Structure 1
Amino acid sequence: LFLTPHYRPYQDFLATPQRIRDLFTKVVSQVQNRNLNIRLHLGNEIFYSIEVIDLLRKDKVLKMGNSDMVLIEFATGDDHETIIEAVHNLVSLKLRPIIAHVERYGKLRNHEYYSGLKRMGSLIQVNAGAVLGHYGKPLQKRVCLLIKHKLVDFIASDAHDEFGSCLKDARLFVEKKFGFQTAESLLNNKSILI
């Protein structure tokens, strides 16, 4: 299970990597004290701006676990060119971007955009709530098309909202609509990240 607190450059003065690591250590300790069979990993969900590149270079933002992957969020109004440039900047640092909840980016409607991002080295993540239609049928339809065309790598909980605990329902939905193998690859894919 990856814990990915939000990070916005120069706005999260309290959410330094060290403070987040300290809090994470406390959470891990609580999990162990309760004998829960959960393996936790740490990262950030990074709101992209050009400043992020320098912060990543200086290790002032957390990558996903001990990997070269970074979970990146964009503004909902960002266009394809902005996202392509960001991916290029991240890849030039030898990082592998995971683009968070792509269903929210209304300007990325063409499947070719997603294919292009994947060819550049990106991984694509959608939210479980979107899979289930919690954010409306048009978004659900877009997500299902992306899954159908094998453009999605992860389904995540986005657990800081009211739909955070719906991963099990999303798995059942995907399994029914696209089959067991697809559900397994999108929801039980820790080997990609760890």
Structure 2
Amino acid sequence: MPKTVIMPKFEMAQETGTVSVWLKQNGDPVEKGEPILEIETDKATMEVESPADGTLAGICANPGQIVPIGQVIAYILQPGESLPSEDIRAQESAGTLRRTTAVARQMAQKHGVDLRSVSPAAGERLTRTDVEQHLLSRQQQSASPNDVHKVRAVPAARRLARQMGVALDTVTGSGPQGRIQSNDVRRQMGLAKETDQPVAESAIYAGAVVGRR
């Protein structure tokens, strides 16, 4: 998962920082701890270090731009990784994206779900279950009575899915012609419990070295 570079906080009363200059550009290889940009505050100019080895990408704050503390300003990619979708990046750069597990984010991207429209069932972190519940609700709101039966499932599986809040279109059926069985719903519930473990919040503060103006 791409590492995020955010506007760090250097001072107790600091609310924003100004991008002075990028020392590295999109596509440049960087090493963990290597200075990648300079930030100006009311009191000093600081160098912001890369939080990881990789390739700098997705710079979204220009020199002279004032950025709130904690806002994403770039990404560090590992080999084979790509930038998040434009929608996710827009939310991250605006500071509106909730803390989200990796599995929930992948499911949201797969089904075209705007995470701003999903509410967590507990706490502040969005999980796979929250996204599944959102998909189920969206399916029920948009479907006509006949549309509900487009997903092949035995009646017992449909009842279990409704009771447990599982979206049937996320379940792989093992019955004849792919028909969903009750065990398929239970297996999906077990998979969610096993894989939907909270991950560290995507915002990773870059290190900083205090310098002089």
Report TM bin, short chain.
under 0.3
Decide which structure has greater helix share.
1
Greater RCO structure (CA 8 Å; 6+ sep): 2
Decide which structure has greater strand share.
2
What TM-score, normalized to structure 1?
Answer: 0.26
